[in-house]
């Protein structure tokens, strides 16, 4: 996993990318897309400072997940490789994204929302990303 702050130019060249952004309506595209491209705005907001080490080293969570630390209170992200079952309580509204296998009724590419305080049980063999707002309690 990597963390890129605002203004960093990036592109996906292959593989799976789960991109989480803070709440914003300021997405600027500079190419490689059929969507609107605003080259002048890209040049205005582009941050060309070299990224020395954008890799986010995960912290091991109790229960087998990995939390990727980010230097912002806007969101948090963790991932679980499930082979059996895990149970947790949602801390605020969370998005659960299944990227492989099946868990409960979620198949690869599907997601669900867990509300604050809701008990969540994930069963099966799967990779599930857990995305929420702010630091965990």
Token pair of 21 as six digits: 């952004």
Q: What tens digit of pLDDT does each residue of 24-44 get?
A: 777 888 888 899 999 999 999
Query: pTM of this prediction?
Result: 0.79
Q: Is residue 107 part of a domain?
A: yes
CATH code of 79's domain: 2.60.120.10
DSSP 136: -
Q: Is residue 100 part of a domain?
A: yes
Q: What tens digit of pLDDT does each residue of 45-62 get?
A: 999 988 888 888 999 998
DSSP-based three-state secondary structure for 40: helix
Dihedral of CA atoms 106, 94, 27, 35 in degrees, nearest 10, equals: 20
Q: Is residue 49 part of a domain?
A: no
Q: What pLDDT shows up at residue 78?
A: 94
Q: What pLDDT shows up at residue 117?
A: 92
Q: Which residues are identified as catalytic?
A: 29
Number of structural domains, the chain?
1
Distances (CA, A) of 136 to 41, 61, 92: 35, 12, 9
Token pair of 23 as six digits: 């709440």
- Give the whole-angstrom CA distance, residue 24 versus residue 28: 11
Q: Is residue 26 part of a domain?
A: no
Q: Is residue 77 part of a domain?
A: yes
What domain range is 97 assigned to? 59-132
pLDDT at residue 103 is higher than 60:
no
Q: Is residue 42 part of a domain?
A: no
């Amino acid at each position: 996993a990597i963390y890129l702050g605002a203004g960093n130019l990036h592109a996906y060249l292959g593989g799976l990318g789960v991109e989480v952004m803070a709440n914003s309506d300021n997405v600027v595209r500079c190419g490689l897309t059929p969507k609107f491209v605003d080259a002048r705005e890209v040049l205005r907001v582009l941050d060309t400072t070299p990224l020395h080490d954008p890799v986010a080293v995960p912290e091991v969570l109790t229960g087998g997940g990995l939390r990727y630390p980010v230097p912002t209170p806007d969101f948090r992200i963790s991932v679980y490789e499930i082979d059996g079952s895990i149970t947790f309580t949602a801390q605020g509204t969370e998005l659960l994204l299944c990227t492989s296998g099946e868990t409960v009724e979620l198949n690869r590419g599907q997601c669900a929302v867990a509300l604050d305080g809701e008990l969540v049980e994930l069963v099966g063999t799967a990779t599930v990303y857990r995305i929420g707002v702010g630091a965990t309690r």
